[in-house]
Amino acid sequence: MYAGTRADDLAVKALQGLMERNPEVPLDRIDDVGIAATTQQGDQGLTLGRSVAILAGLPQTVPGFALDRMCAGAMTTASFMGAAIGAGQYDLAVAGGVEHMGRHPIGEGADPNPRFVAEKMVSPDALNMGMTAERLHDRFPELTKERADRFGMLSQQKVQAAYDRGDIQPDLVPVAFQSAQGWGVATEDEGRRPETTMEGLAQLKTPFRPHGRVTAGTASPLTDGATMSLLAGGDTAKELGLKPKMRLVSFAFAGVEPEVMGLGPVPSTEKALKKAGLSITDIGLFELNEAFAVQVLSLLDHFNIADDDPRVNQWGGAIALGHPLAATGVRLMIQLARQFEQRPDVRYGVTAMCVGLGQGGTQIWENPHFNGKKGK
């Protein structure tokens, strides 16, 4: 749908939708706008936080910046804005991300330093995310193709069920687009395939290597999209009458071998839990980015969580919705916040994701609707 739409225009629409949903916020009170993109060139360049803020109609007194942490771009802008608020330097901030993967394919224009290969620092194919997923299957034989296929199928089914209940639509911003057929309006995610079956998945090709285990059915599709979030300090939220959807408790980023970048969320989650003084058993909801099914499964196995644990990705994930790289972190936040509203029995939730070149990112959130009563 967005083939003919500029990346910065997607970000503008998301930002305008965010502010329309929060009319209590005086625009000149926003301290900063941080917008992430992985490929910062063309319509994803020109310091997106600043240029998008101007295009969206924010006062010219509001500054902005761009950031790149590949897949965890929006997660990083949200974390750093939260830290600035926690340190008393900001009262209000916007954090988001955008990725137009149709216009800017992964690695477009990249020029990796030859030392990476010459000095054997990183395998030449470590920038091929599909190959890093295949290596997880190699390293952990218990992470079978059948388990990955089933996880992918359930993701499709859970996303469609969430759509059928109307859980996802309230947070979407309609965007007009133009195609050869004329003008249209994008009102839902177009990558969903709820008819997916295990039999169909078993027949898919393994594009990353012959006789591999990663297929299009167990990987996130290439997607265009943008996300935005509004963060505020507690005092500012009370002053403006804002209703908090969740509170940032801790965040952490960690590095692993680039060749198995999918393991990144394991150490980042351990770090975030330690910083928060919590254990994995304290977490009642997980929003884990499904870059690849095997990547999520590796984290679940590490923490002894079942593949079909109801706390994990209740509404499905990126295998069905797509993963527009730098934008995804805020989508995870949005889905967790909506689930918090429905689950006052849950106090803490996690958003986590793997990141290219061997990193992981994790945020721990507290539910303001928590009523102190444990769920079943």
Instruction: Note whether 191 and 142 are within 8 A (CB).
Output: no
DSSP code string of 89-154: S-SEEEEEEEEETTTS-TTTT----THHHHTTSS-TTTT-HHHHHHHHHHH-TTS-HHHHHHHHHH
Cα–Cα nearest to 346, from 253, 291, 283, 288: 283
Which DSSP string do the residues of 362-375 spell out, in sequence order?
Answer: EEEEE-TT--S---
71, 100, 104, 137: the active-site residue: 71
Q: How many Å apart are CA 335 and CA 328, to the nearest integer?
A: 11
13 contacts: CB under 8 Å, gap ≥ 6: 173, 175, 226
Query: Are 328 and 97 contacting, i.e. CB atoms less than 8 angstroms apart?
Result: yes
| Active-site residue, from 100, 104, 137, 354 | 354
Separation between Cα atoms, residue 330 and residue 242, nearest integer Å: 19
Structure tokens at 174: 């309609």
323 is catalytic: yes
Q: How far apart are CA 363 and CA 86, in angstroms?
A: 15
137 is catalytic: no
Pairing of strands 359-366, 247-255: antiparallel
71 is catalytic: yes
First to last CA, the chain: 42
- Neighbouring residues of 239: CB distance < 8 A, sequence distance ≥ 6: none
Q: Decide: helix, strand or coil at residue 351.
A: strand
Q: Catalytic positions, please?
A: 71, 323, 354
